[in-house]
Amino acid sequence: MIVGSDGRQAERMPVEEDIARELESLKSRQRYRVLPAIGVRNGRFIEVAGRKLLNLSSNDYLGLGADRELLGSWLHGLEASGGDGPAFTSTSSRLLTGNHPLYGELETAIALEYGSESALVFNSGYHANTGILPALCTRHDLILCDRLNHASIIDGIRIAEAEYRRYRHADLDHLEELLEAASGRYRQVFIVTESVFSMDGDLGDLRRLVELKYRHGAFLIVDEAHGVGVYGRKGLGLCESLGLLRDIDIIIGTFGKAFASAGAYAVMRGLFREYLVNTMRTLIYTTALPPVAVGWSLQTFRRQLGMQGARQHLIDLSSKLRDGLRIAGFEVPGDSQIVPVVLGEDRAAVGMAEALREEGFHALPVRPPTVPENSARLRFSLRADLLAEDIDALVETMVRRRP
């Protein structure tokens, strides 16, 4: 029974009954989620529910978020600027009074490093992916999307008016079949992929995607959310490391992972930037990022350009962990800094996460619907501030606590 403010009792509404049943079902299937009590982060460690644990679940791939010297320098600059420094709020959209000059500095810096005509900064990667496709695509277009693309890309496709098809993950023969079937039937065909897939940690075949783009006159969008900072001499992503920066129509990157800030960006030709400024709803109808966040993004972006040693160390750690776990008999897909260990049943993944927590490791289970049924896993997100000894200890613990 529910008691109102006037003391009257009322039965639960049907929607409440359904929600309560669904929550109980999630609990019984080990899929119930709660917001964790996260405390202070200290270097490669994090405090969770009062315990100091080795942090293996952060996307801060370069460790910039834990760089006290960098943060101290930034805060000192803010203090020294007095009231003339960047504000902590923008209070309006970029098209009103929220377009602080730091936006221009950041977008210019990004475009320069990518060798692109222009760049555009957004509030988040989710805003980018749910805004770009709906703005560019019409009902006369077709979107072809890798089946394992991030949920934000899927949501953007669903909002867009265009038809869409999802090709089998990394199956570019299937993609080519769809491209051939679409020939002459649409105004434009858009191909959308990630460069580093966030759940399996594998890399997209960007070279062949570029070949297919040119052969079929398609428009290619690559989401480098998990690639920027990690790949490329300047950390511009897998597109840079493969020498394909000029072959991708739109490259999307994020500040919220390796760049240890907030927001996202896209690099593109000036025509597309101009059009998005005029039509992209998630840009037009949202309050701009606080200038202080934009300034911090500019600082971390510039800092990571020279972190080649950290990038190599991160790749070496990833290879070490994969090799150790595979030798021990674990199923470990992918070949990036994201190292998933597929355990199958939800209970197995939850149980292993609890066992690792007892041993001092913070690694969270990933369960359906985020991943397919019977492929629940632990997902280790490695960072450049981890040590080789950390990897050895993790492998030893995984083997000893194997379910």
pLDDT one-digit tens code per residue, 68-111: 888 888 887 777 766 666 788 889 999 999 999 999 999 999 99
Considering the candidates 198, 297, 318, 375, report the single residue annotated as catalytic: 198
Considering the candidates 100, 213, 234, 257, report the single residue annotated as catalytic: 257
What value, to the nearest 5°, has the Cα angle with vertex 230 and ends 209 and 300? 120
Q: What is the mean pLDDT of residues 8-13?
A: 72
- Digit-coded pLDDT (tens) for 130-185: 999 999 999 999 999 999 999 999 999 999 999 999 999 999 999 999 999 999 99
CA atoms of 78 and 75, how far apart (whole Å)? 5
Q: Where are the alpha helices (DSSP H) in 60-184?
A: 68-81, 101-114, 125-136, 151-159, 172-182
Specify the CATH number of the domain 86-304.
3.40.640.10
186: left (phi over 0), alpha (psi -120 to 50) or beta: beta
pLDDT in the model for residue 40: 78
CA atoms of 151 and 250, how far apart (whole Å)? 18
The answer to whether the CB of 361 falls within 8 A of the CB of 394 is: yes
CA dihedral for 14, 15, 18, 23, sign (positive or negative): negative
Give φ, ψ of 64 to 5 degrees: -65, -30
pLDDT in the model for residue 170: 97
How many CA atoms lie less than 13 Å away from 96 in the CB half-sphere?
10
Considering the candidates 226, 234, 313, 362, report the single residue annotated as catalytic: 226
Q: What is the mean pLDDT of residues 177-199?
A: 97
C-alpha distance from residue 317 to each of 191, 336, 383, 388, 401 (Å): 32, 10, 8, 7, 21
Mean pLDDT, all residues of the chain: 94
Concatenate the DSSP letters of all residues of 291-317 into one string: HHHHHHHHHHHHHHTT-HHHHHHHHHH
pLDDT in the model for residue 84: 65
pLDDT in the model for residue 86: 79
- Residue 4 — very low, low, confident or very high, per pLDDT cuts 50/70/90? low
pLDDT in the model for residue 6: 65
Give φ, ψ of 171 to 5 degrees: -95, 90
The Cα diameter of the chain in Å comes to 70
Nearest to 276 by CA among 158, 165, 156, 110: 156
The answer to whether the CB of 212 falls within 8 A of the CB of 176 is: yes
| Cis peptide, bond prior to residue 101, ω within 30 of zero | no
Instruction: Judge whether 278 counts as a catalytic residue.
Output: no
pLDDT in the model for residue 328: 97
Instruction: Judge whether 223 counts as a catalytic residue.
Output: yes
Q: Where are the alpha helices (DSSP H) in 59-100?
A: 68-81
pLDDT in the model for residue 10: 67
- Digit-coded pLDDT (tens) for 305-363: 999 999 999 999 999 999 999 999 999 999 999 999 999 999 999 999 999 999 999 99
- Digit-coded pLDDT (tens) for 14-27: 898 899 999 999 98
C-alpha distance from residue 235 to each of 7, 79, 258, 357 (Å): 61, 30, 9, 32
C-alpha distance from residue 93 to each of 128, 182, 225, 261, 366 (Å): 15, 38, 24, 19, 35
Instruction: Judge whether 194 counts as a catalytic residue.
Output: yes
pLDDT in the model for residue 69: 87
The answer to whether the CB of 352 falls within 8 A of the CB of 240 is: no
**Residue 64, Cβ density class (10 Å: 0-12 exposed, 13-18 middle, ≥19 buried):** buried
Considering the candidates 67, 107, 113, 194, report the single residue annotated as catalytic: 194
What's the CATH architecture for 25-66+307-400?
A: Alpha-Beta Complex (3.90)
- Digit-coded pLDDT (tens) for 21-74: 999 999 888 888 888 777 778 889 999 888 999 999 999 999 999 888 888 888
Considering the candidates 100, 127, 150, 213, report the single residue annotated as catalytic: 150
What end-to-end distance do the CA atoms of the chain give, in Å?
43
- Digit-coded pLDDT (tens) for 255-304: 999 999 999 999 999 999 999 999 999 999 999 999 999 999 999 999 99
Instruction: Judge whether 25 counts as a catalytic residue.
Output: no
Domain with CATH 3.90.1150.10 in the chain: 25-66+307-400
Token representation of residue 306: 């020279």
Instruction: Judge whether 169 counts as a catalytic residue.
Output: no
Instruction: Judge whether 198 counts as a catalytic residue.
Output: yes
CB under 8 A, 24+ apart: contacts of 48-52: 48/357, 48/362, 51/357, 51/360, 52/360
Instruction: Judge whether 216 counts as a catalytic residue.
Output: no
pLDDT in the model for residue 9: 65
DSSP 83: G
Q: In sequence order, what are the residues at sequence separation of 6 or more whose Cβ sits closer than 8 angstroms to the Cβ of residue 206?
A: 193, 195, 222, 238, 239, 242, 244, 248
pLDDT in the model for residue 76: 79
pLDDT in the model for residue 126: 97
Considering the candidates 55, 59, 116, 123, report the single residue annotated as catalytic: 59
- Residue 8 — very low, low, confident or very high, per pLDDT cuts 50/70/90? low
Domain with CATH 3.40.640.10 in the chain: 86-304
